[in-house]
Chains A and B, each alone.
Chain A
Amino acid sequence: MATEATGGGLEFHPMDQFVVSPLFGAGEVHWYTPTNVTLWLALTALASIALLVLGTRGRAIVPNRAQSMAEMAYGLVHKMIEDIAGKDGLQYFPYVLTLFMFVVFANLLGLIPMAFTVTSHIAVTGVLALAVFFGVTIIGFVKNGAHFLDLFWVRSAPLAVRPILAVIEVISYFVRPLSLSIRLAGNMIAGHAVIKVFAGFAAIAAVAPVAIIAVVGMYAFEVLVAFVQAYVFTILTCVYLKDALHPSH
């Protein structure tokens, strides 16, 4: 109702797809209420498990398609951690793979028509990003002790500019969870809302073909974005992990 324009048969509800509502009946959303968020979170987890557990059920030397994809996802994240964070980053591989599988499947499942995109919610991406932020900070201090603070003290720079750089480094460090979460949620919100707006224009016969072609184009683009954002989220996690494990520049 907020953004809808009822005149001329045009109706835009680009934000309705993001509304959190209880699955059973109506009413208040308590913290334990099973909602559409719960449903799509569960579907995301089930899809990840289906690919990685059911897909590899055969344990074949020569893999079938599902096993091939599961191994590709495994190999992608494994190589990413090894290349960026080094061998000692591999002990956090299960968590990073969990993040990657969760984000990529949440993004892709959100593209199913009538679906709910959990990664479009700042509460969800914020928790993911904060988990990465706190996890990486704790790992940094546990592994390096006070030397972790070397991350903010750029020894390769001249002494005079080091304090300034330290301030910048600290700010950029604390902006990380914000940028991580808003990048992912923002991409999801924007893409889905744009598709909805184009779909709304399809109600006008004159521009319907253009609108439908635009929706198809946007959809293809969004599939790409779904992968790219999951990849970016994971690769940034690896970069932060590298900073935690090897804080000196």
Chain B
Amino acid sequence: MFSLLQEAATTAVETTEGVAVVVDETHAAGAHVPTPGVELVGHAEEAAGLPQLDIATFGNQIFWLVVTLVVLYLVLSRVALPRIAAVLSDRQGAVTGDLMAAEEFKHKAREAEAAYDKALADARHEAQAIVAQNRAEIQAQLDAAIAKADAEIAARTAESETRIREIRASAETDARQVARDVTAELVTAFGGRTDDAAVGAAVDGRMKGALQ
């Protein structure tokens, strides 16, 4: 590529010189060189050598470049940069604010969760207390009922025992009377005389141990 350019440059210089000899001074800086014999096909301008090295255009380029750079610098530093910096810091602020808000919400959520847990624990505790209380009441009622029933049973038992004792006592008395009567009759039947006291002692002596 470089050799091509170099060749081009030398050719251009030769051509320019040739033209300058033939055509006279029709061109100022070699930028616009009408060459006889070669048709210009849609090209308004033809490069003579490397256009970058055409010093005649340097002043023009530098002047407009400086104008452009100054304008661009002023617009960017006065308008664009403060605006972008403001937008970026706004965004930074918004992001930081949002993060802090999120942190706060998280905190609140944690607090709410703690409150909920506490309420749940309290409710459970209360429920347990109520259950225990109910259980105690029922137990007390049950105990009372059992005690009452026991007392009744005891009373009934005692009554029954009394009656049994009475029955037994009356039965003993009856048996003794019957035995005395039968003994007295037997003694009478065998022609003996009845001595109530003796019969009673004899019957008592026999019955001792039998009726116990």
Chain A residues near B (Cβ < 8 Å) = 1-4, 6, 11, 13, 15-16, 18-21, 26, 28-35, 37-38, 41-42, 44-45, 48-49, 52-53, 56, 59-61, 63, 67, 70-71, 74-75, 93-95, 97-98, 101-102, 118, 120-124, 127-128, 131, 185, 189-190, 193-194
Contact B64 A1 (CB under 8 A): no
Given contacts A4-B38, A31-B59, A120-B52, 15 further A-B contacts (CB under 8 A): A1-B15, A3-B47, A44-B68, A56-B84, A61-B90, A61-B91, A70-B80, A74-B88, A102-B72, A118-B61, A123-B57, A127-B66, A185-B52, A189-B50, A189-B52
**Which stretch (B28-36, B99-107, B197-205) binds chain A?**
B28-36
**Which stretch (B4-12, B121-129, B139-147, B163-171) binds chain A?**
B4-12
- Using a CB-CB cutoff of 8 Å, which residues 42-85 of chain B contact chain A? 43-54, 56-69, 71-73, 75-77, 79-81, 83-84
What would be 22 A-B contacts, judged by CB atoms less than 8 Å apart? A1-B33, A3-B8, A15-B5, A15-B51, A16-B46, A19-B31, A19-B51, A21-B45, A29-B56, A31-B62, A33-B60, A35-B57, A41-B64, A49-B76, A53-B79, A61-B87, A61-B90, A75-B88, A94-B81, A98-B69, A118-B65, A189-B52
Residues of B within 8 A of A52 (CB): 76, 80-81, 84
Contact A102 B69 (CB under 8 A): yes
Residues of B within 8 A of A128 (CB): 65
Question: Given A2-B11, A18-B51, A56-B83, is A37 in contact with B60 using a C-beta cutoff of 8 Å?
Answer: yes
Candidates A26, A31, A70, A189; contact of B84 at CB < 8 Å: A70
In the assembly, what is the distance between CA of A185 and CA of B50, in Å?
12
Q: Interface size on B (CB < 8 Å)?
A: 61
Let me know if B94 is at the binding interface, CB within 8 A.
yes
In the assembly, what is the distance between CA of A198 and CA of B59, in Å?
32
Residues of B within 8 A of A30 (CB): 59-60
Let me know if B21 is at the binding interface, CB within 8 A.
no
B86 vs chain A, min Cβ distance (A): 7
Residues of B within 8 A of A63 (CB): 87
Candidates A18, A49, A60; contact of B47 at CB < 8 Å: A18
In the assembly, what is the distance between CA of A141 and CA of B82, in Å?
29
Contact B76 A94 (CB under 8 A): yes
Contact A94 B77 (CB under 8 A): yes
A-B contacts, CB under 8 A, total: 180
Contact B11 A97 (CB under 8 A): no
Contact B86 A101 (CB under 8 A): no
Candidates B41, B49, B72; contact of A45 at CB < 8 Å: B72
Chain B residues near A (Cβ < 8 Å) = 1, 4-5, 7-9, 11-12, 15, 28-29, 31-33, 35, 38-39, 41, 43-54, 56-69, 71-73, 75-77, 79-81, 83-84, 86-88, 90-91, 94
In the assembly, what is the distance between CA of A32 and CA of B61, in Å?
9
In the assembly, what is the distance between CA of A193 and CA of B79, in Å?
37
Candidates B4, B32, B67; contact of A3 at CB < 8 Å: B4
In the assembly, what is the distance between CA of A63 and CA of B87, in Å?
9
Contact B87 A194 (CB under 8 A): no
Contact A123 B61 (CB under 8 A): yes
Candidates A42, A49, A123; contact of B80 at CB < 8 Å: A49
Candidates B4, B51, B61, B72; contact of A101 at CB < 8 Å: B72
Contact A15 B68 (CB under 8 A): no
Contact B87 A1 (CB under 8 A): no
In the assembly, what is the distance between CA of A131 and CA of B8, in Å?
32
